[in-house]
Chains A and B, each alone.
Chain A
Amino acid sequence: MQVRVDINGERHERDVPGELTLASLLRDDLGLTGTKVACGEGTCGSCTVLVDGHAVLSCLTLVAAIDGAEVRTVESDGELLTRLRQAFTANDGFQCGFCTPGQLMSALALLETTPSPSREQIVDAMSGNLCRCGAYEGIVDAVTEAAG
């Protein structure tokens, strides 16, 4: 099936099989391995990317279903993402870093729609992103700080 997606500002047009997931397109076909797959069944949030500004689980998202969409991953740039990166660094919002790309993208989706979230809103928006190292405190602090 012919699809066109814009990924981090680059246009990609290709013929994809119906079952191709966005995670697989990003990681295996485009080499954008920043997006991580930790469960592959939509239960951990590691593979979160933005599709038209919404945080989605790329392991459950079929490329065929997002024709014409704009996708952003952890490899993208932007003022808000830069601020989030700085805040995650300053607040030690990660340890092993495997869930971190997903954490960053969930945080980005939150701050784009809710520039000054309450702590409750942050916890709510980030509660689908598991971190087994337990960096949650740093994540809350980082998102709070990046919101300014």
Chain B
Amino acid sequence: MSPRLIKTEAVVEGRVEERWTLVEDDATPEYDDANPPAVIGTPTPRVTARTRLDGSARYTSDIKLPAQLEAAVLRSPHANAKLTAIDVEAARAVPGVRCVVTPDDDLPAYGGSALLTAEPGYAGAAVAAVAAESAEAVEVALAALAPQWEELGFIIDMDVAADAQHFIEDPTEYERGDVDAALEGAAHVVEAEYRVPAQLHNSMEPHCAVAEWRGEDLTVWSSTQAIYEGRAELARAFGIPAERVRVICEFMGGGFGSKFGVGPEGVLAAALAKRSRHPVRLVYSRREENLTAGYRSEARGELRLGADADGTLRGIEASVVMGLGSDGWTYPILEPMKAVYKCDNVRGFVLPVAQNLGPTAAFRAPGVMEGTFMLEIALDELADAVGMDPLELRRINYVEDDQQAGRPYSSKNLLDCYDRAAELAGWPDRDGLRSEGRIRRGMGMATQIWWGGGGPPAYAEVRVGRDARPMLEIGMQDLGTGVTTACAMITAERLGVSPQEVLVLAGDTTRAGHGPASGGSMTLASVAPAVRAAAHDSRAQLLDLAADMFEIAASDLTLEDGEIRSVDGTLRRPITDLTGKLGNAWVTGRGSRSPNPDGMSVNTFGCQIAQVAVDTHTGVARVERIVAVHDIGRVVNPMGARSQAMGGILQGIGYALMEERVVDPTTGTVVNAGFEDYKVPTIADLPEVVCEFVDRPDPNLALGIKGLGEPPIIPTAGAIGNALAHALGVRLREAPFTPRRILEALS
């Protein structure tokens, strides 16, 4: 079991990275029909329930240290401006103020950009910051800064930015086959333009950080999806070794992609703490959250699809403009066009434009959800043109293998998803929903593809001491997804205890076991094999000790229901009879994540069918029912999996019906940066959801697990769009489908 360094390929949200990884062999036997898991697969309440429900769970914004200062940021009110004056002395004179920083100060950078700027390029850009003894003093000091501006011209509109060639990075081009010839020879061609809005993450816990220096050592509590990335960011920013930086995120109030690393707020809090020699807490307001902490990019796509008379897809062409504001990357919006359906001729073009708006950030299936919306509605338009049932069109264009990589998928059960979803939704009878009255109903569907295979590096340790309750240490963080509970289940499975008896110690870079960032639907699939290997290692050590104590061969012993048992039934003793002799010592099992097999692509698949009702007088659309069937490999916790699917579906409903950041074109400022005006789904928007998984372990992956975080949000909005067209007989191509857009389409 000696460690080895190997080179592995990791796919994170469509970006392939090669990295060196330290791995150890995993001695754990795989679960199969003869050796099925008992705990895994059983609906299990969250192990964090007690602390999250009695108010004792401590989130980053709850941290309060002795002599801690509060901090806040002065932000540009203008979309593009030059700071011409700022009254630092007035701010410093406010009682209780300990530190005021402006662009003139020598501050560390964040991600290659200055933390503060005198030339803000969007409304919300950070210009100055204050730390003081109270939030009130901070507020007074910010007002005292009284900045003066020279306003400059700005570009908000994506097309204007594209014409001006304001790009964040080089445009993306993709081509396979001969699209022009294919579309020319196609019996049916559809062509249309689709638009999607900027969607704001609005995690309930805003971006925040608390920073404390002790000598040269820095501790930062951060609401983050990536404690190790945060550690690296801080080490770079302050020029200190990563080992002198500790990042803690024990409980986290959501992230949805917007919280990789400690963010500028983490570096700024640490810089203010260093200058003021006090711990500093910096919590974004809801408005800051929606101006500067990221959003899903808006996009406009022109799609052309061609098919033979029998519906066989001949060619797909997509030309996309993606609005990235002041930062971001070309999110994989072409992926659905390239991957979901069998098609030899595909051409795509993406212009990633820069605008005088805040930076984008990954948002749950970034790019892929937008691209799916466009492709899936276009496919329904093609089905209309061909005169074919939309589901049948998708079935006949099913593809078995990964067309881009030219290799098989590790597993793919999409056809089963189609069959089951159609059955659950009553798809064959969907035309029976339609009527000519004021309320019109319809049903539509969409297909989903995503990555989510997980991979190294991930390490875990499982300690078992005298009370026999395993302690799992792992350097990951839990956004609220339930990965902690899933890991407790995997540990409990090996050690013969209940998941509620496992103490999971995570969310701290000083914990044993380095874990991955939580993103790309990869956390559980990455850490689960390491956790199981660690639990298995500690189990093997316990059984060896038991073999000596009870004079029975270790291979004839098992751990079940809190007992050590011999296979022949002669021995049944509480595990504590053994572990009670450990005193204050414990056995420590270690595990690491091995790479996935070469030569295959790991992806998740699924489909959703939406049923909508539209009031044709008011234009209000309501989602009545969503049927979701996804292929995510083995389901570890059916209870948590269903909840995660619900979350994705609800955010997808928000995207389809109500969520849209609105920017005033005359001022370049966001007019709906709060919950009052930016609508997110409430409990009253909850539809009936029928959710099933093809619960079939991936035969090529350790534990058979694939990811789940992103898949459920991907097809929802496209399915709703297709249901609306089915209900109304007119096609809507711009999300969200607000009453205004629906009434316009009907008139």
Contacts and interface: CB of A to CB of B under 8 A. Distances in A.
Interface string A6-36: 0000000000000100001001100111111
Contacts of A96: 203-205, 251-254, 479-480
Interface string B469-494: 00000000001111000000000000
A95 interface: yes
Given A38-B286, A95-B480, A135 B646 contact: yes
Contacts of A111: none
Interface stretch (B15-23, B59-67, B540-548): B59-67
The listed residue with most B CB atoms (<10 A of its CB), out of A28, A32, A33, A73, is: A33
Interface in B39-62: 45-46, 48-50, 52-59, 61-62
A133 B647 contact: yes
B253 A97 contact: yes
Interface string B194-231: 00000001111110000000000000000000000000
Interface in A58-117: 73-75, 85, 88-90, 92, 94-101, 104
A74 B689 CA distance: 30
Interface stretch (B87-95, B121-129, B590-598, B675-683): B675-683
A85 B45 CA distance: 12
A133 B135 CA distance: 29
B639 A41 contact: no
Interface residues of A, number: 52
Given A28-B64, A44-B204, A133 B55 contact: no
Contacts, number: 163
B643 A135 contact: yes
Given A89-B49, A136-B650, A41 B674 contact: yes
B54 A75 contact: yes
Grouping DSSP codes into helix (H, G, I), strand (E, B) and loop, the A interface class, with mixed when no group exceeds half, is loop
B286 A36 contact: no
A104 B202 CA distance: 21
A123 B253 contact: no
Contacts of A94: 46, 49, 52-53
B497 to A, nearest CB: 19
B59 A134 contact: no
Contact of B53 (A104, A131, A132): A104
A57 to B, nearest CB: 12
Contact of B254 (A19, A98, A139): A98
A73 B55 contact: yes
The listed residue with most B CB atoms (<10 A of its CB), out of A31, A44, A126, is: A44
What bracket does the count of chain B residues touching chain A fall in? 35 or more
Nearest to B56: A34
B640 A127 contact: no
The listed residue with most B CB atoms (<10 A of its CB), out of A40, A98, A134, A138, is: A134
B684 A97 contact: no
Contacts of A89: 45-46, 49-50, 53
A43 B675 contact: yes
A24 B283 CA distance: 14
A89 B253 CA distance: 17
B651 interface: yes
A3 interface: no
B67 to A, nearest CB: 14
A127 B683 CA distance: 5
A97 B57 contact: yes
B204 A38 contact: yes
A48 to B, nearest CB: 12
A100 B202 CA distance: 16
Contact of B647 (A39, A95, A104, A130): A95
15 contacts: A33-B59, A35-B55, A39-B286, A39-B675, A92-B639, A96-B203, A98-B253, A98-B254, A133-B204, A133-B643, A136-B646, A136-B681, A136-B682, A136-B685, A136-B686
Given A92-B45, A133-B643, A140-B686, 9 more contacts: A27-B62, A33-B59, A43-B286, A74-B53, A74-B54, A99-B204, A134-B649, A135-B646, A136-B683
Interface of B: 45-46, 48-50, 52-59, 61-62, 64, 135-136, 201-206, 251-254, 256, 285-286, 479-482, 639-640, 642-644, 646-651, 674-676, 680-686, 689
* 4 closest A-B pairs by CB: A34-B55, A96-B480, A98-B253, A97-B52
